Every structure is written in C-alpha cells, then in structure tokens.
Structure 1
C-alpha cells in the first residue's frame, strides 16, 4: 500500500459528500497549505500530476519524509505517492523487469543504481540536477551516482557507520574512558569482559538484507588496518576478496563478534546475533547487559522512545578508533535518488530533494544526516547527527563508502551478506572469503 493512499481516499470522500449535497465538485473543499509558496516557485507549477516514489523507508521514517515534502507538493500541485518496502533491494528488480518501475527510487546501494543505469533503465540527471549536485556535494559523493561519466542521481541521506554506541553512565560508574586507539578499544573490551559483562552486543537480522551489519564491521576494520588504498582496490576487485589483508581484517572482527566472552551481551552466545534484528541489537546497553554496540548514526532513531542522546544522557557514541589517536577513517553509507521517468514534475521533485532546503527541513523533523555542503549542523536533531555532519563536511576526514554497497549487487547484497551469516554461524574465514571471491562476476 502506498503512503498517501489515505489522503487520496479523503479527497474522494469529500467529493462524494459534496455531490450528495448538491454542491458542484469544483466547489467542494480543497486541500490548501499555509506554507510560503514563494520558496518553491523555482520548481514551477504542475497541477494534477503525480510522482510515484519507492524506497526502503517505512513507518516513522517514511512519515518524516512525507511531512518534509508536503509543502513542496501542495505548492507545486504534485501528488507525491510514496511506497516503503523493507525488501526494496529484491523487489525493485522484480518491479522494473515487470514493467512497474516507480518514477523515482531511493537506492541504498550505488551498485544497484549502477546496474539499472547500465541497463538503460534510469534517466540521466537533468542539467538543473547536475548543477545542484556540483554545488551540494563533493566529487566523491557525486561519483557514487555517476556511471560512465553520466550523473544519474544525487545523495538523499548520508550516514556515518563508524560509531560505537555506549552508555555514558555505565562508563562513568566503572571508571572507563572512551578509547582513542584500536589497542585501547581491545584493552577496554577485555576489562569489561573480566568484570562479568559482555562488552559487545549485536544483531544482524534484517529480512532480505540479513548480514549487512557484519559486512560493515569487516569494512571498517579493513579501512583502519590497511588504509584507503587497499580498501579501494578491494572494493573495485583489483585485489581478490580473499586477499590475506582481507582475511586479517575478518579474523580481527571474528575475535570480537565470534567470541562468546565478548558477545552477545543481553541476548546469549555470540552466534545468537544471527536471529536478533539490527533494530533491537543495541537495547541491552540501556539495561547494563552490554557495554558497546557498533552501529551507524541512523541508529539514533532506533532507540526506544524516550531514550536521550548526549555525552551525559542515556546513550552516546564515539568514533571507532584507528591505529593512532589522530587517525580518522570514516566508513559511511547513503541513499541516492534516481529516476526511471523523465517528466517535468519528476525533474522538479528530484531537484527539490537535491536542495539544501530539503536537507535542512528534514533535519528539523527528526534524526537525519546529510552530506550536502549546505546542511547546517545546528539543525541536527541529535548530538550524534551533528557530529556526523561535521565529520562529513570536514575535508580532513578519510571517508569511504560502504564497500558492499559499491560492489556488484550479486556480491555486495548477495554472497557477501550470505557469507557473513554463514561465518557468524561457524564457517571458517577462508572458506567464506573464497566462496565470495568465486562468486564475483567476470565482467
């Protein structure tokens, strides 16, 4: 069911009532907005048009998107119909191949966007969108939605994945300090385990995308151990997936996530994380049954209602440390908009989503991070969102996009995710890495 169906039903009902009462339909009550429509004048007027949008955001996240573009829709006359699907990655392919493509899709994986671009399904960005992209984002960010020199979309959402969530009170009561280096993090992990509390909690269940939290861990550690050069070559398959340096990173992660002394706090043995949803994985921090949870900035919106975020609140986060205190490698991800249709109203909607106005308006609605240069950190809903935006806008940050999202979809959203689940379940590192390497497309 598409979001916005209730609004459509309301319009139909009003028209029916008006007709029943002998009132001409053009005299029936119409929706109106109190927004300053002057700010949307650049997008033109498109009365009676509709733009269908398909993405993975559901429930509250979807509601916040709809609330953000509501004034735009009212002022331009575009009926934006959004549909959220937790199995977006699998079903978008079925829909497109079945001739039921949406006008606009929110792609969480550049690799999947690239596939549709190469198949000729996506429409190249308009000149207006290209100009907004250059103004709003770095060349690296725009490169993620560029295929063979042509821009097909723009970033919508950004996130910093290299965060470790924790309870400031738990740390304070036990005299624990936030680690500045990887060796300090491992010493902290052992100290907490020795106290009788499992230091780490995790959950990797995510419907069709089950396994991705583990792949994030592996990518984060590889980036810290080997640097951006090796990371980039691995993602591009210029070195094999089972390269010894990748094996080392996997084994390092395994020393934490596959260790029953260290995981899975609040849930059970380490392998219990395979059945724990990523949404609930960090909750044992609130009860003191777990000390740390490595998860992205977007987890700010997944804590139970009433949870306060901040350095002296219920939960906060620190950047997963590197080899030295000055190292600041940041793994991140994002969602990109791209269009399967080329109509004036579709182009107008895309350009609005690419504006700093949209980014700041969405940030004021609730937890949200944007890499747009025009995003004002002061509008961030949480301290962690603010920190994320500052990191993304800092030219000194060594940012790299989630590797699995850049790999061919059959690997990044296929064998890598599945292999991660098998690995947590007991399969050996070399066995899993070699299996993924053999699955890599020949092209």
Structure 2
C-alpha cells in the first residue's frame, strides 16, 4: 500500500527540539495500533474456536473425480445438515494407510473398505465398534452385514455385481459363444498397483461358484475346503484354458502388463482386439464400454460346466466405525440412510442394496442398470460375497499373487495351491462363517 498523501513529507518544518517527541508519539501510536490488531485477531480466533464445528475423520478409496463427486453428493449435504465437518482422506492404498494409522495409534473415526475379511481381523483386535443400533430397521442382506461374535461391525455403502461378462452391442449369441472359446477374445488386465491380480481372483471365485454351487463356494471362502481339492483346482484350470494361461506369450504379456481399467480399450479398435470382459458392474462406466454400448450376459452362460442356479458373486464398499464418538455415530447413521445411499448411487451410476434407497418406478436410468439393481435385491437369488475379500488379508494377498504366477506358469499350480493351503491353516486367522446370504 502506498504512503498516505498527508504524511510528514508534506507537513510544515517543526523546531528541532520538538522532533524527538514527535518520533516517540509516532512509535507509541504504531505500537498501540499493532496491539489493537493483535487483540482483534485474538478475538476473531476466539470466536472461531467457540463456533468451531465438531469434526469426524473418514478414510475411503475415492480419489480424483470420484472424491469430488463423493464430497459434493454425500459429504457436503451431511455437513450442512448436521453442522459436523468431515476431514476426508482418499487413498487407493487405503488398507496400507489404515494399517499404518492403527499401528501408530491414530486411526480414522470411520473407514470404508472393500474387504470384510480385513474388517473382521480389526474387529477381533478390538479396533472396530458395533454398529447394530445405528443401521435402519430395513437392514441389509446377510451377505453384506455378516455378524461376528453376534454383532454387526460393518454395512455396505455401495455394491457391485461380479458374475457378469460384458460385450459390445450387436454381438449375437453365436458370436458370444464362439468368442468365449478363444483366449484372445477375452479382455483381461491384471494390473492394479499393490493389489494386482484381483481380476484373476474374481475369475476363479466365479468359476468355482458357478460350477460347484454356493455350498462348496462358502466352505472354501471360510477356510474349510482345501485349495488342493478337486473343485478348487478345476476352477483354476478352467480359467487357465479360457484365458490362455501359459500359452501365446504376447497374450499373456498383455494381460500381465495391462491395468485392469484399460483392459477393455481394445474392444473399441477396428478390428476389435478383444470382445468379452469378465468384470464387475462398475466397469460399464468405463469409456470403452460406453462407446460400444456395452451389454452383459450372466457369466454362468459362458463358463464351461456351470450348473449353479441363479448364484451371483458380489462385492461392496463397507463402512466401519473405529471411534465411538457422537459425530462419528451421526456420520454412520447418515451413510446407512436411504438418502445418502441414493445420492451416491445416482451420482456414480452405481448400486445400493438398501431396500429403501432404490429409485422410484419410472425414474431415469438404463435398462441394464435397472436389471442389475433388481438382481442385487432379488431374494430368490443367491448372493455370495467376493471370496478373496472375505478371507484373512494374508490369504487374500497370496491368492492375488498366485493368479499372476499361474497365468505365466500354469505348471506351477500344484505348488501354488499347496502354499495357499499352508497359509489357510495358519493359527490365529479370522475367517467369516458366512459369505452367502443363503445356500441350497
């Protein structure tokens, strides 16, 4: 700021003897002004402190555009309504972040994770708080809120259906059947940073479910059925034949080096680089499937030997409570509410399994989206949670790594399954006793 026009430079000269007093008076005024400014700042800070809203910390996996959408559609309405500030941290490595925070004694108040197996381990350690009394009366299905020691410790905020194969609009049934027998026609990308390999675990889980049924699948997912059993081993070899494990080096290399979110890109080329993708419902929002107007078929129609009747692999983003504070409990109730779940599913074009959160009849949306939403809520169908997500973290991670090894070296399968059985028998692991909402 420029000097004031009425400053000393324009004042009349003063006698020499009066100058010291003028300087002293100027310094006094300056000091006084500074004190008044500091006092005002202190008063403002004090008022802000008195009016400060309570805060709740939240860790989830939404980053970038997804994070902004989550803030706009879910968090901002919560903050306005309840006058509680949400200190949000988004990370694609949320499991690692949470583990470090728990070890340091500074975990978030609320967390959103994809793995009930990981949450079960935290619950057994006493890190999670019960949420039984915070959920709506309509509740969620048994495969989504699996009780542990008689209490519920998590609930789904977002759901996905996984027993799906996507294909471009205009592909005939005969073309689908033919493509399913050609490994090069499957769009497959195994890359996902620290969690690489999970697209392979989805494949093997779904094949086991569709070929052997929910009873066998649930025994395996809760650690009772050996990895070296006939049913599990055949699920691996069936996947290997379908996608060409150990076959064409260029094909295997493409699958191993491609990030899962880029796997469908070749479907837009001319001629197409691939036609089919075994992937969860969220993949339909990828640009490639939008451009080719992606459609889906239940995976059971293309998996050799499938015999399960209306059985579906599912997954979800699960909310859990680590600090039992009033702001955190308020956020839990809100995230479990129909309003919050509907807002998020509408913004993300995803799914909620809250019966109260479904859009009204005649609401906007595509036919495929409505059909999948109906399947997720169909109480005549069997919904089984993603097996690797339900397993103890050490087994989950080894499973994902083994799919990568098997894809390149299928002759290593016996050793891989033996190693997974050794891990399964490790003392002290927490296994969920139910991953399917019902079995036959």
TM-score, with structure 2 as normaliser:
0.79
Corresponding position: 1:442 with 2:427: yes
Question: C-alpha deviations, 1:284-319, integer Å up to 9, x for none?
Answer: 112221110111011123335xx637xxx6222222
In the superposition, relative to structure 1, how do residues 340 and 426 fare at CA in structure 2: closer, same or farther (>3 Å)?
same
- 1:283 and 2:262 correspond: no
* CA apart distance, 1:384: 3.8
CA, structure 1 residues 244+95, in 2 after alignment: closer, same or farther (shift >3 Å)?
Answer: same
- 2:212 corresponds to which residue? 226
Contact 1:415 1:436 in 2 (8 A): yes
Which protein shows a greater Rg? 2
Q: Which runs of 5+ in 2 are unaligned?
A: 1-36, 429-440
Residue in 2 that maps onto 1:150: 151
Offset of 1:354 from its aligned partner? 0.3
Task: Out of 65-74 and 114-123, give the one that drifted further.
Answer: 65-74
Map 1:25-424 to 2 at 5 A.
48-69=53-74, 70-125=76-131, 127=133, 129-130=134-135, 132=136, 134-143=137-146, 146-169=147-170, 171=171, 175-177=172-174, 185=177, 187-190=178-181, 193=182, 198-259=184-245, 268-287=250-269, 288-303=272-287, 308=290, 314-322=293-301, 327-377=309-359, 382-412=366-396, 414-424=397-407
CA 1:380–1:119 in 2, change beyond 3 Å: closer, same or farther?
Answer: farther
Work out the CA distance in 2 between the residues paired with 1:245 and 1:325: 13
Taking the aligned partners of 2:179 and 2:262, their CA distance within structure 1 comes to: 24
Residues in 1 aligned to 2:157 and 2:333: alpha-carbon distance in whole angstroms: 11
Structure possessing the higher relative contact order (Cα contacts under 8 Å, 6 or more residues apart): 2
Deviations 1:247-294 (A, max 9, x none): 011100000123588x89xxx412421111011111111222111011
Task: Tell me, yes or no, if the aligned pair for 1:136 and 1:356 is still in contact at 8 Å.
Answer: no
Secondary structure (helix, strand or coil) at the match of 2:212 reads helix
In the superposition, the TM-score normalised over structure 1's length comes to 0.78
- 1:16 counterpart residue number: none
Which string of whole-angstrom CA distances, capped at 9 and with x for unpartnered residues, describes residues 109-158 of structure 1?
0001001110001111162x14x1x4131233221xx2211111211111
| Residues 188, 257 of structure 1: alpha-carbon distance in 2 compared, 3 angstrom cutoff | closer
Shift of residue 324, structure 1, vs aligned partner: 7.0
SS at match of 2:369: helix
* Contact 1:380/1:386, CA 8 A, preserved across alignment: no
Q: Over aligned residue pairs, what C-alpha RMSD do you find?
A: 2.8
* Cα distance per residue 1:352-411 (max 9 Å; x no partner): 100111111112213211111123256675544322211011112121100001111110
2:144 counterpart SS class: helix
- Gaps of at least 5 residues in structure 1 are 1-18, 31-45, 180-184
